[in-house]
Structures are given as structure tokens and as C-alpha cells.
Structure 1
Amino acid sequence: MQGGYVYLLVLLLLILGSLVSAAIACSTEPANLTTFDVRDFGAISAGGNIDNSEAFLLAWNATCNSESESSTLIVPRRKFLVNPVVFGGPCKPKIINFLILGRLLAPNSPEAWKGLDQSQWLAFKRVSGLKVAGPGRINGRGKGWWDQSCRDHPGLKGCTVLAPTAVKFVSCNNSSIGDVHFVNSSQVHVLIEGCEGIHIENVLIEAPERSPNTDGIHISASRYVFVTNAIIATGDDCVSIGDHTSNIIVSYVKCGPGHGISIGSLGRSGNFVQVENIHVTQVYLQGTTNGARIKTWQAGKGYVRRVTFEHMFFRSVKNPIIIDQNYCSKRGACKELDTGVHISDVSFNNLYGTSSSQAAISLNCSRSVACTGVFLKSIYLRPAIQGQNLTSNCTNAHGIAFGVIQPEPCLQI
């Protein structure tokens, strides 16, 4: 009998061992992995000379189709050349982490986009819960595009107007970008389009002052977008806000060089513009062409309303406060129309610093569709050039001024 008990005990242990082994085997199935390194899918650094777009796509597909609640794609501390690629969703995990520890390099030549969408390099589409995080770098290597830009080389045969955005979020919700260094995008560095609930924070964006159309962050057809703790120095707007946007907050941004913080341009094609609930605060601008700006085309219709620019400091800014309802790509080339985008309930509050132009406040509103509800409060601007007198220029701008020390306001009641 004792031998029988021993036999049963051994058999039981064997069965338990088999079950444990099976459990371990199941737990290591690829579908249950939560972290995916691009090198495991064939990505090779090689000093940034080998295209890794296919390997990145394979790693993305594994990350996107993981059965876990949260999955992570890792770009290790190496240089990786990546040709234009779209990371598509929707994905199975609720959270997708795209962790950039190394450097992503765009192709040097525009030829790499032949037959592809020239508007994008790295695009994320229809992904919710996406978190793109650093501390790595995304280098657009845009000089090849700048050298054939129609803006800077209008006489060049085959010059291009459109160039790739470095990173696009298209139809992505509840997502974020943080702790990433963007440099030298061919055109816009970060584009948010058709999204809701996007956070952009702790980013550094750099491009030469003369680089064409290299906006830092452009927001279009999106709502509930928050930009905070950013340093942006580019050849165009630091942050630009396009059509069909609402509930946008831009805060704690250092801007310059560049074209400032801009709403617009809007309504160029005569469309119905809808922009509202925009709040820009705690912004430092140095050497920019504009400060707080709204720009619309006369052909447009619709509205820009409930906008606040506050707690901004200007250092040698050319147009610190500007509304231009008669925006035109070439000054004086657009004939006057009887249409316009209605700009209303706009507040400029607690704005200080120096202006490098004489007209420190310029409110150029439509003769047909006036600006209404403009509020100027606690403003003190001084000339960047000693001895120069600052002025305000207003056309059909209606509102109230309170505590404006300099320049003297020109609003109509």
C-alpha cells in the first residue's frame, strides 16, 4: 500500500509540473507580450543609413494588436532612418506607448516621397490612448525641401508648396506627446487634425528662422487640445490654430524666433469658419514677427469668438497685438469684399514688453463685418528702439480699454 501512495504522489507531481510548464508557455506567447523593441523586428541603426520603415511597421502592428491593456513600442538609444510611414489604428490595447529613446531621422532627399503623400512623414491615424514620449529626438532633415520651396525659390522649376509634416495625429483621441525634441521638419513639426483630448507638453521644437512654413504646432478641426511647457523656435508660427477648433489652451510657452501665437489664417476659400474658446496664457515671445495674432481672409464667413490672450511678455516683437481681418498672401493684392469672419469677444489682458515696430497695437477689421467686444486691459508696451513713439492703429474695431498705459488705445465704443 505504501508503494501505491508513493506512485500516486509522483504521478500528481508530474501532472502539476506539466500544468506549470503549460502556463509558462502560454504566458510567453507573442500575443501576450506588452513591450516591443523595433530591433526585434529587423530595425538596424547603422548610423541612420538604412531604411527601417518596414521594421517599424511590423513592431507597430504587434504593439497595436497586443491583447494586453497597455502595450509599448520602444525605439532604443540609436539612430534609425525611417521613410514615410503611417501607424494606423484602431488598436486593441487601451493605452499605446510609443517610447522614443533614440533618434528618428527622415530621408535626406524629397525623392523618398515619390509616389507617396508629400504632406506627411510620421503619421498616427485613428489611434486612441496613444502616448508618444521621449526623451528622444525626431529630426525631419528638411533642408532638401527648403531648397526647393516655392516661397523662397519662386523661379525654380518644379518648386514645391507642400512639404511633409514631421508628426501627424489624425483622428486620434485622448492622446499625448511629451518630452520629445523636434528639429528641422520640412514643414509643420506637429499637426493635430480631427482629434479630441490631446495633451502636448515638455516639448522642444527647433528650426532655422528662415526655414519656410515650419510651424511648431498646428491645430485643426480639433477640440480640447492643451499645449503647455514648450520651447519653440522656428521659421513660422510657434503655435497656430486653424478652422473648426474649440476649447484650446496654450500655456507656458517660450516662442522665438518665429511668427508668434496665431489664430488663422482662416476663411481663404470662402468657407464658414468656426473657432471658439481659445485661451493663450503665460507666453514669452522674443524677436518674433507677431505676438498675439488673429488673421482671417475677407472671403471667409462664420466666427472667431471667446478668445483670451493674457499674461504675455514681449521682447522686441514686431506686432505685439494684431487682428487682421483683411489678411492676404501679398499685401495690397486682395480686393476689398463685403464678406468677412466675425471676430468677437476677444480679450487682451496683462500684456507687457517692447515693440520693434511703431504700431504696437494693430486692429485691422473689416469695413463690412466689424470686430466687436474687443477688450484691452492692463497693457504697457515700450519701444524696443529708444526714442521711438508707439501708436495704435484701429479700423472698425469696437470694444473697451481699461488700464492701457501705452500706447494709447484706439477702439470704438
Structure 2
Amino acid sequence: MTALQLCKGTLALILAFGSISCGFGFVIVFGDSGFFSVCDYGAVGDGVTDDTGAFLEAWQATCSTQFENPTMIIPDNYTFLVHQLTFSGPCNAKKITFLVLGNINAPTSPRAWTDLDPSSWMTFHGIDQLRVSGFGTIDGQGSKWWNQSCRYHPHLEGCTSLAPTAMKFLSCSASSLNNIKLVNSPQTHVLIRGCRFFDIGNLLIEAPGTSPNTDGIHIQSSQHVSIANAVIGTGDDCISIGDYTSNIYVSSVTCGPGHGVSIGSLGRRGNFVQVENIHVSNVQFKHTTNGARIKTWQVGKGYVRRITFEHLKFDSVKNPIIIDQNYCSIRGACKEMPTGVHISNVAYVGLSGTSSTDVAINLNCSRSVACTRIVLESIELMSANMDRQVTSSCLNAHGNAIGVVRPDPCLQS
């Protein structure tokens, strides 16, 4: 019996998606019932055969069906190799579930992206009320991309500065991503851009701490996005929040290794920045480069305002609290400018733990556009080295400190 015959066997759908798998012997075409398995469109699932075409055909059937709530199924117990994919809307179906129970692998070689957009692997575009869920694994197989990264190999002929994002969600609304494991993306693991009302929950994201630019989740030009109950360890920001974002809620996240939770970098091209109403709570940072970070370029304009970091725990973090309004690709190499992004109404409440460097609070604000209305409340940070004491460093940072045990706050009134 061939792998194709195995994959095209019986699918058992248990209530609430308890278990779905490929069986043996005969085919049930779920398209007649609102369920569309990639196996029924020719997917083999042996981890070697290219199943890209089967995924696209299954998507077309799911998207165009007259059923209001169809489900596209990636069955368990199989590994599906797929090349670059774009799942496009709008769809006839009102609500689509993309159910990942098996494993989805990217090609191992960057050559598979020849003449294609190198920034994308799987993209969901223009689809509203999409639910991506399941208990499968999405593996970006990024090691060969990392080995030719210009960031770590700048003198390598043909090095690459742009690599695929594992999953992109573009121009969407009322959608969600839940219960998925993402590993080893060539670059960012999940990108949310141009979306409204997007929920992310119960994710496990893993990549080596040495992997370049492998952000866990990046949010850009989106509003009303929530992230909850995630464990993220990568070579870059666990969560990064870009420009034109508002009403972003992050809670119950474990971060590490990585670069922390970052707002920015913002204003690199001199644009007018608009970021507001960001709430980050109940995050544990374990051996990360940064904790709660805001970073902007001097050439930028606009604002970052109404930001709250609360109930954060730090375990040997290099920069637990950091604002860098003078961010530069090469530290200290950017000329001082009369412009800047105004950072205001930022509250740090209930933060504790250890810093692996002496400066636990570093507020490096612009002399031209100072940080204002900064609040430090109920903070106790100690050195991860019992023989040392932590300090604060403030430049042009104005605000109030309440109940800060250590280090001594340095805000200007």
C-alpha cells in the first residue's frame, strides 16, 4: 500500500476536534460534509513528496464551498512537505477552520525560493473569521537560512538579509491562531499585519537563541490584537510591536531565550509613528537580552503613548526595563537629530526579579523630544550576581516613582 493510499484512507472526526487522522483502506470525501482533508486532494504526507498542490486545491474547495463553517484538515500522524503557499480570500464561507493536526514542513534549502518572494512561506491573505488551530507542528526548517544570514555572516558571498516568515496573516479581521507549535522559522515565526480583532493563544514557539531575526510574533499596522498563554524562545524578540498599532494585549507569556517584548523599532525612515494602548502583563523573562523595551529612531516623528507593563518577572535579564529613543543599527553611530518620537504615559507596575547587568533601569530618551509621564511603581530588581548592586540610568526621562524598592529611581520631575 502506497503512502498516498494510506493518507487517503478513513478520517475519523471526533467532536471538538478530539482526534483526526488518516486511516486505511478506503476514502471518505469530507467535502460533502463541510470537511476538506488535504489527503482527499492528493497529499501524501511522507515528508518527502511535495504536497503544495494538494493544499491549494483543498483550500480552493474549502474557500468556495457553500457551507458556512467549513474545515480544512491537515491530518495527524503525517508530515506534509509544502513549498511557498498563499491562501487567499475573500471566501464564500463565512467562517473557516484551518485545522492542523499533523506536521507541516518547509523545504530545507533556500533554493526552493528561487524566483519567489523570499520573505514568505505560508500566507493567509484577505480572509475574515479564519480560525487556525490544532495540535500539530509547523517547522520552518530554517538552519540553512541562518547559516547564510548576512547578520551573522556579513562577508559570505551571496548572504541573505531576508528570509521567509513561517506564517503571515494579512488584511484580516475577527480571526485567531491557537494551539499550534511553530519551530525553526527562517525568520519571523508569526506576522500579523493589517488585521483587526485577532486572537493568539496557547502557542509554543521555539528556535535556537543564536538564530538570527527569528522573532516569535510581530504585529504591524493592526488593532485589537491579543496574545495569551504562549511560551516563546527564539533568537530575537519574543513579541515585537511595530508601527500603526493600537489596543494590543499581551498576557501570560514565558519569554526566553530571546530579546524580550519590544515596542519598535519605530521611525527608522523618518515616518510619523502612531502606537498607543499597549498592555503587557504577567510575562516571565528568562535569560533574555531585554525585558520590557521601547526603541525608536531619532529621525522618526509621532508618538508612542499609553503603554503599560505590569506584573513582570525577570530571571537574569540584561536590560529588564529599557527605553532607547536613540536607537541605531550600530550603537552610538547615529548622529543626534532635532527630531524624535514622543514617548509618553508609560507605566511600569509590579516588576521584580534579577538583572544580569548593573543597569537594571535604562531610560535613554531624546534631548529634543524627551520622554514624559513615565511611572515606575512597585519595582524591586536585584543583581543576578549576589556581589553586585543594580542602578538606574535616566536621560531626559520625566515622571514619577512610587514604591520603588531598588534600584533608586532617577526620573526627573
TM-score, length-scaled by structure 2 = 0.92
Answer yes or no: is 1:242 the counterpart of 2:271: no
In the aligned structure 1, how far is the partner of 2:151 from the partner of 2:360?
A: 27
2:70 corresponding residue in structure 1? 71
Long gaps (5+) in structure 2: 1-27
Describe the SS at the equivalent of 1:225.
strand
Describe the SS at the equivalent of 1:50.
strand
Give, as a single letter, the amino acid of the residue that structure 2 aligns with 1:208: P
1:110 corresponding residue in structure 2? 110
Give, as a single letter, the amino acid of the residue that structure 1 aligns with 2:349: N
Q: Do 2:30 and 2:37's aligned partners in 1 also have CA atoms closer than 8 Å? A: no
- Structure-to-structure mapping, 1:10-409, within 5 angstroms: 33-46=33-46, 48-77=47-76, 78-409=78-409
Answer yes or no: is 1:412 the counterpart of 2:412: yes
Identity in percent: 60
Q: How many residues align?
A: 385
Q: Deviations 1:291-324 (Å, cap 9, x if unpaired)?
A: 0000000010000000000000000000000000
Q: Do 1:35 and 1:71's aligned partners in 2 also have CA atoms closer than 8 Å? A: yes
How far the C-alpha of 1:204 sits from its partner, in A, is: 0.1
In the aligned structure 2, how far is the partner of 1:79 from the partner of 1:350?
A: 44
In the aligned structure 2, how far is the partner of 1:136 from the partner of 1:306?
A: 37
Greater helix content: 1
Q: Deviations 1:150-192 (Å, cap 9, x if unpaired)?
A: 0000000111111000000000110000000000000000000
Runs of 4+, deviation exceeding 4 Å? 28-32
In the aligned structure 2, how far is the partner of 1:29 from the partner of 1:268?
A: 51
How far the C-alpha of 1:33 sits from its partner, in A, is: 3.6
Give, as a single letter, the amino acid of the residue that structure 2 aligns with 1:345: N
Describe the SS at the equivalent of 1:144.
helix
Give, as a single letter, the amino acid of the residue that structure 1 aligns with 2:384: A
How far the C-alpha of 1:371 sits from its partner, in A, is: 0.2
Q: Deviations 1:27-67 (Å, cap 9, x if unpaired)?
A: x9997540000011011112x11111111000000000110
Describe the SS at the equivalent of 1:372.
strand
Long gaps (5+) in structure 1: 1-27
Describe the SS at the equivalent of 2:50.
coil
Describe the SS at the equivalent of 1:60.
helix
Give, as a single letter, the amino acid of the residue that structure 2 aligns with 1:60: W
In the aligned structure 1, how far is the partner of 2:33 from the partner of 2:246?
A: 38
Give, as a single letter, the amino acid of the residue that structure 2 aligns with 1:104: I
Give, as a single letter, the amino acid of the residue that structure 1 aligns with 2:403: G
In the aligned structure 2, how far is the partner of 1:387 from the partner of 1:403?
A: 24
Deviates more, 1:119-128 or 1:31-40: 31-40
Describe the SS at the equivalent of 1:243.
coil
Q: Do 2:99 and 2:132's aligned partners in 1 also have CA atoms closer than 8 Å? A: yes
In the aligned structure 2, how far is the partner of 1:134 from the partner of 1:180?
A: 6
Query: CA distance change for structure 1 residues 97 and 404 in 2, over 3 Å: closer, same or farther?
Result: same
Describe the SS at the equivalent of 1:70.
coil
Give, as a single letter, the amino acid of the residue that structure 2 aligns with 1:155: H
In the aligned structure 2, how far is the partner of 1:330 from the partner of 1:117?
A: 28
2:6 corresponding residue in structure 1? none
Give, as a single letter, the amino acid of the residue that structure 1 aligns with 2:74: V
| Structural RMSD (CA) | 1.1
In the aligned structure 2, how far is the partner of 1:119 from the partner of 1:89?
A: 20
